[in-house]
Structure 1
Amino acid sequence: MFALPKSALAAAALTMTALPALAKDVNLYSYRQPDLLKPLTDAFTAETGITVNVAYLEKGMVERLQAEGKRSPADLVLTVDISRLSAVVEAGLTQPVHSDVLAANVPAAFHDPDGQWWGLTTRARIVYASKDRVKPEEVTTYEDLADPKWKGRICTRSGMHAYNVALTAAYLHHHGEEATKAWLEGLKANLARKPQGNDRGQVKAIWAGECDIAIGNTYYMGEMLEDPEQKEWADSVNIVFPVFEGDGAHVNISGVAMTKYAPNKDNALKLMEFLSSPEAQKIYAEANHEYPIAPGTEPAALVKSWGSFTADSVNLMELAKLRPAAVKLIETVDFDG
């Protein structure tokens, strides 16, 4: 396993190009920390004898792959959020993968119809609600977040963050441009403070009494409960699963795609199929506090304790297509201003 240094693209490209493309290797670029993937890669290597080299990138995956071109050692990319996956696809840096194993393990809503990317696990974009100041039944829909009853009571990270852009794209899918603009304006009017920080920072703000509810991803609850400093924040809130009127809760994914010039294509396919398997999904979901998507799989006990929900029925590729329009609306209402 290796980690890329924070260096210029050209230097990084040279470093990566120098890596050998061995018959028993597969090279993975990931926005996820290598230690989060280690239980998976170790299990895959134990089963197949194939070594997985993981390069962690903080940002710039598209730019790096473009700079490396045909010399890139990357076989697969693994990242979170449909917008990040679709960005790699739209840049022409992936190739379609068709596999009966993948098709059996990954429901249609969670993979590209053309096979350019395949989902692995999901997370819901939910509401964290103060145990002391909010009854769970007070928050039922995403639409409700624009209700004036929440004026001065909501915290969130930047509207331009990929997670909130995806949520806005989902709202746009369900309600159209004018209604989404009005919703963003209503949500902005209800903020207790200017958008800032990360999802865990919003829970800390609830704990500190700065706001009563916040928008965040489910898996952050698991991360906070494991951190002695942040456990008190987590204990101060309930997880509430809002839905879109007439549909389900907004979910996003972690997913994998094969690069256009994958030098170890056969090994890469084996790893993709393994990652989609119930065995790997269970390992990944437990390590990252996410929801497995393979049929017949169950979330970890902690995740299951947060409650059940029905996922929004929209195919995530539809949300990816709406991302530019969602960004434009967020900018139009000056959400972060």
Structure 2
Amino acid sequence: MLKASDVMGCMMGHKVRTNVNAQSSAISALLIALVSISGATLTACSPSSTPPSPTSQAASTTASSANGNNASNTNATPNASIASTTAAVPNQLTIYTSIDKAALEPLLTSYARQVNVPIHIVQDEPMSILARLKAEGANSPADVILTEDAGIFSTAVEEGLLQPFNAEKAVAHVPERYRDPDGNWIALSSYARTAVYDSRVLHSNDISSYADLAKVKWSQKLCLSQGKYIPNQSLVVNLINNLGDKRTQEVMQGWLANLSVPLLLDDSEVLKAIESGKCQIGLVNSNHYGRYLQAHPDTPIKIKWINKGYGGVSTNITGVAIPHAAKHTELALGLIEWLAAKDQQSLYASLSNTFPIDPNAEASVLLKSWGDIEVSPIPVRFYGERQALAVDSMQQAGYY
């Protein structure tokens, strides 16, 4: 029988931390429920443990370099048996993901032992994953894509990198708003693009809406990532849907006027800038803030669910798909259906600092501690379908 303490120990071995003590209890309870259902067995994963044999190996992993931009620079985690990233391996399930591998490993290890199939994890940035698939073509070893932002999935569909699949068991746990109408991908969890602020100088009540951040009161206080960063393009799709194109351009121009530093590379840079006092407020994905909080439990940065009463906060998804060149589609489909089930969905969401999609699944204690959230009702597929419109609007506003 798998002990939740074993998996929690594994997670700590990969330095996954939280400053909310109740979070560990919630994850432990979910793991106990999960294993009682699946009957899976997980051995200890500390560096002193004996590595599993190839036939029972739970997971082998590679990761991109620390900055996430060098797809060819990969490193093994302790006890990992590294498989080739250029050719498919018989009876091995290969996952390309942008989700933190340390968060995924406890969950995927449980599934790998249940079905007695090794799982190989390749971690990279979302756009780099698409570049890998294009470069590898028919020789790609990837069987499953697990990444964030519906815009990424739409781009993958347009470029012929995915294949439709019929996961009836999964669909039962995923509302229609969170599914591709052509069956190319489904969501597993959601997150918001919202405000984070320096609690040393600001209070939650100071912050109201996306449009409010364009007002002169925020002059020299705002940090933003560049317009080329896809999460910002998805946010602008939402703003245009809510405010119209003309008003959205005015808001973006106001943001640019209020910047305290030039546009930054990504959410990590925004969080670092706030931490260092270079700015007081910024917009980031809530799951990226959660990951930052785990690494910096004493940070003064707080999160605010923005846009209540103004159309709701912009949300997006982490989702799963099967590449066009996948060699193990049945194994991939089995994993997708397993991940989408309520208990696994709750656990996955907790581990990735996101909200489960299944309305019957529990959000984590950490996310609940951030308060009530009002969500924009926009269908997430719009983020891909209307991305070009958003990019055009951003370029006209000078935000790119």
TM-score, normalization by structure 1:
0.88
Q: CA deviation at 1:244?
A: 7.0
What is the 5 A alignment of 1:140-179?
140-179=208-247
Gaps of 5+ in 2: 1-59, 65-70, 74-83
Q: Which residue of 1 aligns with 2:116?
A: 49
The code of the aligned residue for 1:54 comes to I
Tell me if the contact between 1:21 and 1:73 (Cα under 8 Å) persists in the aligned partners.
Answer: no
Structure 2 Cα separation of the partners of residues 189 and 116 of structure 1: 40
Gaps of 5+ in 1: 9-14
Tell me if the contact between 1:106 and 1:294 (Cα under 8 Å) persists in the aligned partners.
Answer: yes
Q: CA deviation at 1:4?
A: 7.1
Tell me if the contact between 1:142 and 1:244 (Cα under 8 Å) persists in the aligned partners.
Answer: no
Q: Which residue of 1 aligns with 2:88?
A: 19
Structure 2 Cα separation of the partners of residues 255 and 112 of structure 1: 10
Q: CA deviation at 1:306?
A: 0.8
- RMSD, aligned α-carbons: 2.3
Tell me if the contact between 2:150 and 2:316 (Cα under 8 Å) persists in the aligned partners.
Answer: yes
Q: Which residue of 2 aligns with 1:128?
A: 196
Structure 2 Cα separation of the partners of residues 177 and 223 of structure 1: 33
SS at match of 1:152: coil
The code of the aligned residue for 2:254 comes to G
Q: Quick check: 1:206 aligned with 2:270? A: no
SS at match of 2:110: helix
Tell me if the contact between 2:62 and 2:121 (Cα under 8 Å) persists in the aligned partners.
Answer: yes
Q: CA deviation at 1:287?
A: 1.7
Q: Quick check: 1:258 aligned with 2:322? A: yes
Q: Which residue of 2 aligns with 1:195?
A: 263
Higher deviation after alignment, 59-68 or 92-101: 59-68
The code of the aligned residue for 2:109 comes to D
Q: Note the alpha carbon deviations across 1:216-274, whole angstroms, 9 max, x for none.
A: 122233323332xx334x3x233111127652211111111111232211111110111
Q: Quick check: 1:62 aligned with 2:121? A: no
SS at match of 1:125: strand
Q: Which residue of 1 aligns with 2:95?
A: 28
SS at match of 1:324: helix
Structure 2 Cα separation of the partners of residues 319 and 43 of structure 1: 33
Tell me if the contact between 1:160 and 1:330 (Cα under 8 Å) persists in the aligned partners.
Answer: no
Given candidates 117, 125, 132, the residue that maps to 2:185 is 117
Q: CA deviation at 1:297?
A: 1.3
Distance of aligned partners of 1:141 and 1:43 in 2 relative to their CA distance in 1, 3 Å threshold: same
TM-score, normalization by structure 2:
0.75
Distance of aligned partners of 1:119 and 1:159 in 2 relative to their CA distance in 1, 3 Å threshold: same
Q: CA deviation at 1:315?
A: 0.8
Tell me if the contact between 2:88 and 2:140 (Cα under 8 Å) persists in the aligned partners.
Answer: no
Tell me if the contact between 2:249 and 2:393 (Cα under 8 Å) persists in the aligned partners.
Answer: yes
Q: Quick check: 1:107 aligned with 2:175? A: yes
Q: Which residue of 2 aligns with 1:12?
A: none
Q: Which residue of 2 aligns with 1:82?
A: 150
Q: Quick check: 1:310 aligned with 2:374? A: yes
Tell me if the contact between 2:164 and 2:322 (Cα under 8 Å) persists in the aligned partners.
Answer: yes
Structure 1 Cα separation of the partners of residues 168 and 266 of structure 2: 38
Given candidates 259, 274, 290, the residue that maps to 2:354 is 290
For these two proteins, the number of residue pairs brought into alignment is 325
Q: CA deviation at 1:312?
A: 1.1
Distance of aligned partners of 1:204 and 1:17 in 2 relative to their CA distance in 1, 3 Å threshold: closer
Given candidates 385, 390, 394, the residue that maps to 1:326 is 390
Structure 2 Cα separation of the partners of residues 197 and 299 of structure 1: 30
Distance of aligned partners of 1:2 and 1:249 in 2 relative to their CA distance in 1, 3 Å threshold: same
Q: Which residue of 2 aligns with 1:71?
A: 139
